[in-house]
Structure 1
Amino acid sequence: MEEKVFKTLDELVDILKQRGIDIPDSSARDYAKRVLEKNGYYNLINGYNKLFLDPESEIVKYRSGTTMKEINDLYQFDRVLRHIFFRYILEAETQIKSLISYYFSEAHGHKNYLIYTNFNTSLRDSESKITSLIAEIQKQLASRSSDPSIEHYLKVHGYVPLWVLNNILTLGTISKFYSLMLPQERQNVSRCFNIMDKELENALAYISTVRNFCAHGNRLYCFRTKKPLSTTPYHEQLEIKQNPNGEYLKGKRDLFACLIALKRLLSNNDFKRMSKELYRAIGTLDKKLCLLSRDQILNEMGFPDNWRNLNNL
């Protein structure tokens, strides 16, 4: 295996040029060095070169017409995508946390989220799941004990109400919390979104994964996951094609699936604003594309051509 040794910016540019990226003059070379210096070779090239590679070449070879500018344009587009999805997932997260704390506290009181029997003990592997959740909550609470709001309640009252605690809990933890709530409480929450509790549980787990991608700066436009989003009426209404096993080809394990989940969790106005921002971002990228096409980008995102029809469903 070839050893990965340090290379200067000039050496990296030479490698890219040898592999087929169009770097015709000193100006293009300077640009390539600037974007590599700013974003890093691994983040920029290894992260975003997939669509630019020659699929018929047995070695790393770029398609004719590939430029550093277009690779960087795709990279910048992905940053915009992360900002959009992260911001609107936070909107959904805030409401979800509020509803969970309300209905759980209504049933069990304000400081009973660490009591084992207040969760659904009839679930499979409930003992390990509930004890793991309680330990996770305690760990997050301890790690944020110096936060003013947390510190105040611990010093003055000796406990932290769930509606205060949920501000520091991660969406992943809240998703697990919801999955372990008693059936009636789960249904009280899911009814606010006009969906079944199992569908809400699945949607929360899905957007939690995407949120983590956004928060850690991971590549998002080509997001894929093994655990699919539950099938919704939107899949059929958008006439998305299915594979031989009956699974919809788009909107199940991709970024579009996250958009479908958010369609169910956001208010109509928030979703329309998000859709408009996405449409604008895709349009801005489309104007910059030379080698790639808008359809290629949408396909990588899992977005069908009629994705904006979600606004009206």
Structure 2
Amino acid sequence: MTNEKPFKTIDEQIDILNKRGLSTNENSKISLKQFGYYSIVNGYKWLFLSRNTNGKIVKPEQFIKNSTFDDIRKLYDFDKELRSILYKALLEYESNLRAKISYTFCEYHPEESAYLNSSNYNEKINVDSSIKKLKKVIKKYNNKSEDNAIKHYTNHYGQVPLWVLVNFLTFGDINYFYNNIEEQVRIDISKKFSEKYKINYNKSVKIQSISIDAINHMVNDFRNAVAHGDVTYYMHLIKGPSFKSIKKDLSLNDLKVSSQRGIFELVIALKLVLNSECFYELKSNLYNLFDDYENKFYSVSFDTILHDMNFPQNYKCFI
């Protein structure tokens, strides 16, 4: 069987890029050796490829005039720093959500192992899969050889409180749990975020439970990309809850939103749920990142990168 993607040496990789119109130097070889062709070139070449009048990439691929490997590497570095900035904010929200879900659910259902009782979930859906997920996590950590909180509570108390269990769930599990619990519990969780917003920003908002749905969907997908080192700056979400409820909650009547949610929409959404200190740190770090890279690209405008992130020209009016 013929190998359609045979191994290429670093020199052969450089030769391919040169023939496609990309300028390289000795640092290009160092970058390819350190990070690999796939991570840098295949991940970040798209902005620098020639397109036809319909915006489609020309085949066979050809790089735009004056494009350099250094530009691709700079975009790689920019995205790496962007992920680091986002990751801290995403983890902060995740911790907040875990605490509010476990506290509010237990307020309504203080009985032992209430999260394993199907009557404590939304009656309109099949709750079996949600309960199975929780049981699977408990079993997983009970079977581990090393000590952990789940094993401790099981051995000493015969059950695991939800405020302990939530710390062992993935964000996807937390999101799934929030989607399935009773609507009144979901509403009270969103009310707690509204109260937090009032305290932090001295402004009253009424955060809807569907807004938390939308935020959770965005955070889950972007968090996975950030954690796995995927290309993040031009990432867009098509499926999932609408962004319109978040826009309404923040009274952003003048904000035109894309049907595909990108980094800009994620940052706007995080303002609704992060404390002011954490959000202002996120904003400050983003502004500093933009300032650092604004004049670093030779063959493309930095505005093009911001456009790929869904940032409008007047983004500072909204963030």
Question: What is the TM-score when the length of structure 2 is the normalising length?
Answer: 0.87
Answering whether residue 39 of structure 2 is matched by residue 43 of structure 1, we say: yes
Deviation of 1:36 after TM superposition, in Å, equals 0.8
Which residue of structure 2 aligns with residue 215 of structure 1? 227
Which residue of structure 1 aligns with residue 149 of structure 2? 149
Aligned pair count reads 294
Which residue of structure 1 aligns with residue 211 of structure 2? 199
Cα distance in 1 for residues equivalent to 2:272 and 2:122: 25
Answering whether residue 271 of structure 2 is matched by residue 253 of structure 1, we say: no
Cα distance in 2 for residues equivalent to 1:198 and 1:150: 31
Provide the identity percentage. 33
Once the two structures are superposed, the pairs formed by residues 76-155 of structure 1 within 5 Å of their partners are 76-109=77-110, 110-121=112-123, 123=124, 126-127=125-126, 130-145=127-142, 146=144, 147-155=147-155
**Which range moved further: 136-145 or 284-293?**
136-145
Cα distance in 1 for residues equivalent to 2:66 and 2:250: 36
Instruction: Judge conservation of contact 2:141–2:148 (CA < 8 Å) in 1.
Output: no
Cα distance in 2 for residues equivalent to 1:173 and 1:13: 44
Deviation of 1:236 after TM superposition, in Å, equals 7.0
Which residue of structure 2 aligns with residue 172 of structure 1? 172
Indicate the SS of the match to 2:115.
coil
Cα distance in 2 for residues equivalent to 1:150 and 1:75: 40
Indicate the SS of the match to 1:287.
coil
**Which range moved further: 63-72 or 226-235?**
226-235
Once the two structures are superposed, the pairs formed by residues 253-292 of structure 1 within 5 Å of their partners are 253-292=261-300
Instruction: Judge conservation of contact 1:178–1:186 (CA < 8 Å) in 2.
Output: yes
Which residue of structure 2 aligns with residue 233 of structure 1? 248
Over 4 Å off, 4+ runs = none
Indicate the SS of the match to 2:78.
helix
Q: Deviations over 1:111-169 (max 9, x none)?
A: 21111111111x2xx12xx1111112222333333352222112111221111111111
Q: CA, structure 1 residues 238+299, in 2 after alignment: closer, same or farther (shift >3 Å)? A: farther
Indicate the SS of the match to 2:27.
helix
User: Over aligned residue pairs, what C-alpha RMSD do you find?
Assistant: 1.9
Cα distance in 1 for residues equivalent to 2:158 and 2:79: 44
Q: Deviations over 1:211-262 (max 9, x none)?
A: 1111111110001111254211388737344xxxxxx337x52121211211
Instruction: Judge conservation of contact 1:53–1:62 (CA < 8 Å) in 2.
Output: yes
Question: What is the TM-score when the length of structure 1 is the normalising length?
Answer: 0.88
Cα distance in 1 for residues equivalent to 2:313 and 2:263: 14
Structure 2 residues not aligned, in runs of 5+? 53-57, 195-206
Indicate the SS of the match to 1:94.
helix
Q: Deviations over 1:94-126 (max 9, x none)?
A: 1111011001112112521111111111x2xx1
Deviation of 1:10 after TM superposition, in Å, equals 0.7
Q: Deviations over 1:174-198 (max 9, x none)?
A: 1111111112211111012220112
Cα distance in 2 for residues equivalent to 1:178 and 1:104: 10
Once the two structures are superposed, the pairs formed by residues 183-198 of structure 1 within 5 Å of their partners are 183-194=183-194, 195-198=207-210
Which residue of structure 2 aligns with residue 52 of structure 1? 48
Instruction: Judge conservation of contact 1:88–1:274 (CA < 8 Å) in 2.
Output: yes
Cα distance in 2 for residues equivalent to 1:105 and 1:76: 44
Instruction: Judge conservation of contact 1:238–1:306 (CA < 8 Å) in 2.
Output: no
Which residue of structure 2 aligns with residue 244 of structure 1? none
Instruction: Judge conservation of contact 1:44–1:75 (CA < 8 Å) in 2.
Output: yes
Cα distance in 1 for residues equivalent to 2:309 and 2:187: 32
Deviation of 1:2 after TM superposition, in Å, equals 7.5
Indicate the SS of the match to 1:120.
coil
Indicate the SS of the match to 1:20.
coil
